[in-house]
Structure 1
Amino acid sequence: MADTSDFKNGLVLKIDNQLQQIIEFQHVKPGKGPAFVRTKLKNVLSGKVVDKTFNAGVKVETATVDRRDMTYLYHDGSDYIFMDGDTFEQTHISGQVLGNGEKFLLENMSVQVATHEGEVLYVELPVTVEIVVTHTEPGLQGDRSSAGTKPATLETGAEVQVPLFINQGDKLKIDSRDGSYLGRVNA
């Protein structure tokens, strides 16, 4: 059990038998009336975000979430195999749990795997990943007032929009959360 004063970003609460992670919170003390805590909660399994307000001092049940650093090994059918670096234990995680993260997953990449009571909740990739472009059309600079973009296929099979000057074989820095281009990596 946690008090509203114990709230912090990333804390996982158990509300109505659902696991909800605090994305952001704000303690509010109005000039009139009792204090309260305004929160933005994300359902850990579905990803749905909701706003919820708690009265100050209310006790809320917390969930024990175990976050472990693991290394991605390989893809086997519909499962992705990860290994715990401490125990060398291998864990099979479905592509459904990975979500969009599977598009930016490279072999031997270190990730964080969150579990609750033995069940994998989600996999957290590094915010930025460095991936090589395997295919892109040559960029033609034309008459335009702003910078143009073109599609590029990465070594993981993901397709992202990149500037016209990117060529096949270039190593790019990509944001793993939304697949946006961040820059070129110098070798």
Structure 2
Amino acid sequence: MPKINGNEIRPGNVLEHNGGLWAAVKVDHVKPGKGGAFAQVELRNLRNGSKLNERFRSADKVEKVRLEQKDMQFLYEDDGQLIFMDTETYDQVQIAAAILGERRPFVQDGMTIVVEFHEDEALSATVPQKVTCVIEETEPVVKGQTAANSFKPAVLENGVRISVPPFVGQGEAIVVNTETMSYSERA
């Protein structure tokens, strides 16, 4: 695995540190008035989800890990485990539903999701950035209400609450941005 300097760490990098695999969540480069510059890095453990704040100086060397990405199809959920199938080999993989966090409700049957592996161990999964959902409950459409930046609350079919523009009604299909958890457009 390649070694990188402490000042080359970027958000999203996966590092081998203290015997575990950590993803860099947030990186701040700090130049104090006294002493050398360093990178203040917030790390998240890919195996158990714990967090760690660490300082890396430019002279520090860390192992950068490259994860293998595979497109896998979601099959079903069983006792807090999400079951995915490799569409090429038909092998099945289990991943804890907690890994997806608040994006878990957007996983739909048959959806293709990118799963990241490190030496045949599934570590994380990424939901597509845009997902189509149906509005289950919202206030009725009011004609003439076209004020800019006005939104109304809505509940989606998966139970997630988001804000939608006033012209969107109940039973309509919309596209939701899963990164920002917000309305994107009509489907």
Equivalence for 1:91: 93
Residues 1:22 and 2:24 aligned together: yes
TM-score, normalised by the number of residues in structure 2: 0.75
Alpha-carbon distance, 1:133 to partner:
2.1
Q: Is the 8 A contact 1:18 1:43 kept in 2?
A: yes
Q: Which residue is 1:2 aligned to? A: 3
Q: Which amino acid aligns with 1:92?
A: Q
RMSD of aligned C-alpha atoms?
3.3
CA distance in 1: counterparts of 2:145 and 2:87, whole angstroms: 52
| Separation of aligned partners in 2, 1:43 and 1:141 | 50
Which residue is equivalent to 2:152? 149
Please state how far the C-alpha of 1:33 moved relative to its aligned partner. Answer: 6.4
The unaligned stretches of length 5 or more in structure 2 are none
Q: Does 1:114 align with 2:116?
A: yes
Mark the runs of 5 or more structure 1 residues left unpaired by the alignment.
none
Preserved contact between residue 150 and residue 164 of structure 1 (Cα < 8 Å) = no
Instruction: Report how far residue 127 of structure 1 moved.
Output: 1.6
**Residue 60 of structure 1, CA deviation:** 1.4
Q: 1:147 to 1:141 in 2, by over 3 A?
A: farther
Q: Residues 142 and 148 of structure 1: is their aligned pair in 2 closer, same or farther, counting only changes over 3 Å? A: farther
Find the aligned partners of 1:29 and 1:96 in 2 and give their Cα distance.
37
Question: Could you give the per-residue CA deviations for residues 70-94 of structure 1, whole angstroms, max 9, x where no partner exists?
Answer: 1112334433221112211111223
TM-score by length of structure 1 reads 0.75
Q: Closer, same or farther in 2 for the Cα pair 1:164/1:55, shift >3 Å?
A: same
Deviation sequence 1:16-65 (CA, Å, 0-9, x none) = 23322134557778999656445443333426363x33222322134453
Residue number among 166, 169, 175 corresponding to 1:167 in the alignment: 169
Partner of 1:131 in structure 2? Answer: 133
Counterpart position of 2:75:
73
